Structure 1
Amino acid sequence: MSAGEINYSRSTRAQLTIHHFSIHSPRYLLLVVHGYGDAVGKYAEMAGAFTRTGAYVFGPDLPGHGLSAGENLLIEDLEPLVDSLRSITDEARWQYPGLPLFVLGHSMGGMIATRYAQRFRHGMAGLILAAPLLGETTRITRLMDGLHKSATGDIQRFSDETTGAGMMIDRAGTVREWFGPFRRQTLSAMKRMLMLAHSGPGFGSLPVLWIHGKEDSTVLAEETETTLERLRGSRYRKLNIEKAGHNLFTGDAWPRTVSSVQTFIEDILRSDGKRNFQTVFHFCPCFLPWTLSRTWTLPWTETRLTPEDPGSPPHSACGLTTP
């Protein structure tokens, strides 16, 4: 397929539009899972940056988003989308067998990508979480916490002081449909998946990169961290991007975000390539009178990414190095 083409896939409840940004001979697969109110079609500039470094980029518009079918912004259950993503990924692997798979999720898409990794991590090369909506409780899902009906059936109104989003149930039991920009059913689905992700299995040895903007007031890093600290495995890395808000793939932040993700992916490709090479000799001792080490160490520590000085080498601010 040429860059930017689309096709369609039937999920459990709706027809999904799948975007493809491909090149002639890709080196790896990159599945993109977008956030609430977004669409993969809006990621064309970002996708172009990855295809130039050898990625086959693909991903669906979620139900009720972008070009996919469904009522506007309505997703009643997020967990079946994990199965849809697996089917879409299987098609990409059939087209390009043997290529490593990386999954990138932003915001609500980061939560979905986390569930994908919890269920299918053994088929992944790496997970990238950009401002993922995770935590035992989050600022977004708390919009519904004050919603209840009094014993006398009186109208109950509550207001979130930070968002100004009012909440109400009337005497007839009618529930308000919208809470700020969020639909009630979609918020409920988010809360259920947050619980699944927080209580689900950890990442083990799967390489994970968590990127968060220092000025993100939509998804709070301290809330996200409560889940990621529980799930983190042996190859986990946190990266803070200075002067960046929630949407890390637009504005001034996106080149730094893409640069850090590219460096992470390249380090994994190199390290896993060396690991696989050494493993061959480890299981074939007849070729060598010694056993080669299978250890490959990366500096999985917290790093802050600041804007690079003009003329500095690409990716130099990320702090990712190989031995």
Structure 2
Amino acid sequence: MVTPREWEFAGRNGAVAARSWPRPDPRYLAVLVHGYGEHLGRYDHVVRALADHGASVCGLDHVGHGRSAGERVLITDFEDVVADLHTLVTDARADAPGLPVVLIGHSMGGMIAARYAQLHRDELTALVLSGPVLGRWDALQMLLGLEEIPEIPIDPTTLSRDPAVGEAYAADPLVWHGPFKRPTLEALDRCIRTINEHGSLGDLPTLWVHGEDDQLVPPAGTRTGIEAIRGSDLTERIYPQARHEVFNETNSAEVLGDVTAFVDRVLRVPAR
């Protein structure tokens, strides 16, 4: 895998750290959208799989996350986060005009990717949603109903059946290990409602992957959101016993294989 190119650009709410892994002869452009409290650096193995599959890959750290500016995990409007992502995609498409674009979002990043697809459908060839925060997230409503947000961080054991994943997460200094912040929760709620209201993604090929035993973002709640946005080309994969981070699960090779097979199927379909 090539050495990544790293840079910053002016986002809606401060400097945004971005990274890309270009290829001289890419088949498509894969854009990674990470989840809450984490950062793009946790996706190196996903980048390798996509690069081996022929993709140029890029992504960013959301405002308040990873190496980007801003108060940690504070997001007051996800439309601004989507706008930052659009800046990245626009720049990447300018560097490689004509390439098919596959947007891949995990958890909160899946929510961001879904909203991006609603706003910029014509720029995308395919969408992949991993454990996305969509539809109904009961934990969010529970937290918003409390007078004070408890000092309870995400439990690393809920991420994967592989203990090493949780251990690395707990030791990662770029991961947020504190509680949720109310303005971020309120912004999440608004974004979920906006996605539900704006409806179908039309004929955009979409792959939804989710762990059956996801305790952080249970698939039953997400399914209501998938039904709100699904169009004419939805593929679903629910992995038995898998937890929240299916790209980091004990069957991650299977999951990534399903992603690349989905991309192959989409790229073989003639452009409409």
Question: Residue 219 in 1 paired to residue 221 in 2?
Answer: no
Q: Which of the numbers 179, 194, 203 marks the counterpart of 1:196? A: 194
Write out per-residue CA displacement over residues 258-310 of structure 1, whole angstroms, 9 at most, x where no aligned residue.
111000000000123xx56xxxxxxxxxxxxxxxxxxxxxxxxxxxxxxxxxx
Give ranges in structure 1 of 5+ residues lacking alignment. 149-155, 164-178, 277-323
Give me the whole-angstrom Cα distance separating, in 2, the residues matched to 1:194 and 1:70: 23
Give me the whole-angstrom Cα distance separating, in 2, the residues matched to 1:75 and 1:14: 12
Residue 17 (structure 2) aligns with: 17
In structure 2, give the amino acid aligned to 1:47.
V
The answer on whether the counterparts of 1:111 and 1:132 sit within 8 Å (CA) in structure 2 is yes
Write out per-residue CA displacement over residues 105-147 of structure 1, whole angstroms, 9 at most, x where no aligned residue.
0000000000000011111100100000011x31331233423
Give me the whole-angstrom Cα distance separating, in 1, the residues matched to 2:13 and 2:108: 19
Residue 121 (structure 2) aligns with: 121
The answer on whether the counterparts of 1:19 and 1:41 sit within 8 Å (CA) in structure 2 is no
- Number of corresponding residues: 250
Residue 47 (structure 1) aligns with: 47
The alignment partner of 1:199 has SS state of helix
Identical-residue share of aligned pairs (%): 35
Residue 234 (structure 1) aligns with: 232
Residue 4 (structure 2) aligns with: 4
The answer on whether the counterparts of 2:101 and 2:125 sit within 8 Å (CA) in structure 1 is yes
Residue 252 (structure 2) aligns with: 254
In structure 1, give the amino acid aligned to 2:219.
A
Question: Residue 147 in 1 paired to residue 150 in 2?
Answer: no
Residue 137 (structure 2) aligns with: 138
TM-aligned CA deviation for residue 74 of structure 1 = 1.3
Please tell me the root mean square deviation across aligned C-alpha atoms, in Å: 2.4
Write out per-residue CA displacement over residues 21-59 of structure 1, whole angstroms, 9 at most, x where no aligned residue.
222211101111100011111111110111011101111
Give me the whole-angstrom Cα distance separating, in 2, the residues matched to 1:138 and 1:245: 16
| Deviating 4+ runs (over 2 angstroms) | 1-5, 143-148, 156-160
The alignment partner of 1:182 has SS state of coil
The answer on whether the counterparts of 1:3 and 1:23 sit within 8 Å (CA) in structure 2 is no
The alignment partner of 1:252 has SS state of coil
TM-aligned CA deviation for residue 158 of structure 1 = 9.3
Q: 1:58 to 1:159 in 2, by over 3 A?
A: closer
- Structure having the higher helix fraction is 2
Residue 61 (structure 2) aligns with: 61
The answer on whether the counterparts of 1:35 and 1:107 sit within 8 Å (CA) in structure 2 is yes
Residue 90 (structure 2) aligns with: 90
Of the two structures, which has the highest relative contact order with CA contacts closer than 8 Å and spacing of 6 or more? Answer: 2
The alignment partner of 2:110 has SS state of helix
In structure 2, give the amino acid aligned to 1:44.
D
The answer on whether the counterparts of 1:139 and 1:218 sit within 8 Å (CA) in structure 2 is no
Give 1 or 2 for the bigger CA radius of gyration: 1
Q: 1:119 to 1:12 in 2, by over 3 A?
A: same
In structure 2, give the amino acid aligned to 1:37.
G
The answer on whether the counterparts of 2:18 and 2:58 sit within 8 Å (CA) in structure 1 is yes
Q: 1:157 to 1:5 in 2, by over 3 A?
A: closer
Q: 1:146 to 1:81 in 2, by over 3 A?
A: closer
Give me the whole-angstrom Cα distance separating, in 1, the residues matched to 2:54 and 2:17: 23
In structure 1, give the amino acid aligned to 2:146.
L
Q: 1:266 to 1:188 in 2, by over 3 A?
A: same
Give me the whole-angstrom Cα distance separating, in 2, the residues matched to 1:205 and 1:146: 37
Give me the whole-angstrom Cα distance separating, in 2, the residues matched to 1:114 and 1:67: 24
Matches within 5 A, 1:27-46: 27-46=27-46
Give me the whole-angstrom Cα distance separating, in 2, the residues matched to 1:140 and 1:66: 24
Matches within 5 A, 1:165-314: 181-272=179-270
Give me the whole-angstrom Cα distance separating, in 1, the residues matched to 2:100 and 2:149: 51
The answer on whether the counterparts of 1:146 and 1:158 sit within 8 Å (CA) in structure 2 is no
